[in-house]
Amino acid sequence: MTEPVSTLLDRMADALRRHLSAQHITAPALVGIHTGGVWVAEQLHQRLDLNEPLGKLDISFYRDDFSRMGMHPQVRPSSLPFAVDDRHILLVDDVLFTGRTIRAAMNELFDYGRPASVMLAVLVERDGRELPIQAQVVGQHLKLRSDEQVKLRGPDPLRLDIVKLEPAS
């Protein structure tokens, strides 16, 4: 059902080059969202032959379900090794589903500065958006049932797994 991750990454890199040239963006700043998004961003970073180091965001402090779930047990430091002001930022994540993670990532990004633009690239997207958020570049669109979840395993090799969710007890 899912194609090999390397095929998806090649497709994303092609689509990204076209998108960036259409937008006249020569030096995008890549920002991966922990953990899966960082893995995908590292691969795209190589394929696009970018020199500038990759940014990494952990959105735990910006989640909208903190009051229900509490603190995520494994928070990693965010690091953006470049100034965000006036940059064209390419956010990268593994799976786009409700859009809430991307909302949180954008909030965090804007606490670092005012980017010129923000684009979104995802390895996989599935239906179920709860916010008006859309990716510019998508590796693959997956039709999944509501009791199914797609997970990126990695970092080496990267592999997509579709797992069945346990019924909520």
Partner 1 sequence: MIDQDSPARFRPAAGPLPPSLQFNAQGRLRHLLTIEGLSGALITEILDTAESFAGMNAQAVKKVPLLRGKTVMNLFFEASTRTRTTFELAAKRLSADVLNINISTSATVKGESLLDTLRNLQAMYVDMFVVRHADSGAAHFIARHVAPHVSVLNAGDGRHAHPTQALLDMFTIRRHKGDFTRLKVAIVGDILHSRVARSQIHALNLLNTGEVRVIGPKTLLPAYVEDLGVHVFHDIRAGLRDVDVVIMLRLQKERMESGLLPSEHEFFQLWGLTEERLALAAPDCMVMHPGPANRGVEIDSRVADGPQSVILEQVSHGIAVRMAVMSTIMGGSMNQGSGA
Report, in Å, the least distance between residue 52 CB and partner 1.
16
* Residues within window 76-135 making contact with partner 1, judged by CB under 8 A: 76-80, 84, 107-108, 110-113
Binding-site size for partner 1 (CB under 8 A) equals 25
47 vs 61, beta carbon nearer partner 1: 61
CB 98 to partner 1: min, Å: 17
- Closest by Cα among 142, 153, 52, 64 to 100: 64
The correct pick among 24, 74, 146, 156 for binding partner 1 (CB under 8 A) is 74
Burial class, 15, CB count within 10 angstroms (exposed 0-12 / middle 13-18 / buried 19+): middle
- CB contact at 8 A, 135 and 122: yes
Q: How far is the CB of 151 from partner 1 (least distance, A)?
A: 20
Q: Strands (DSSP E) along the chain, which ranges?
A: 29-33, 55-57, 88-96, 117-126, 137-142, 148-153, 159-164
What count of other Cβ atoms lies within 10 Å of the Cβ of residue 122? Answer: 27
Nearer to partner 1, 47 or 82 (CB): 82
Element spanning 43, H or E: helix 36-47
Q: What is the per-residue binding string for partner 1 in 24-63, x denoting contact by CB under 8 A?
A: ----------------------------------x-xxx-
Among 22, 26, 51, 69, binds partner 1 (CB under 8 A): 69
Compare residues 26 and 67 and give the one whose CB is closer to partner 1. 67
**Cα separation, 146 vs 165, whole angstroms:** 9
Cβ atoms of 160 and 151 within 8 Å: the answer is yes
Task: Report the interface residues with partner 1, using CB under 8 A.
Answer: 58, 60-62, 66-71, 73-80, 84, 107-108, 110-113
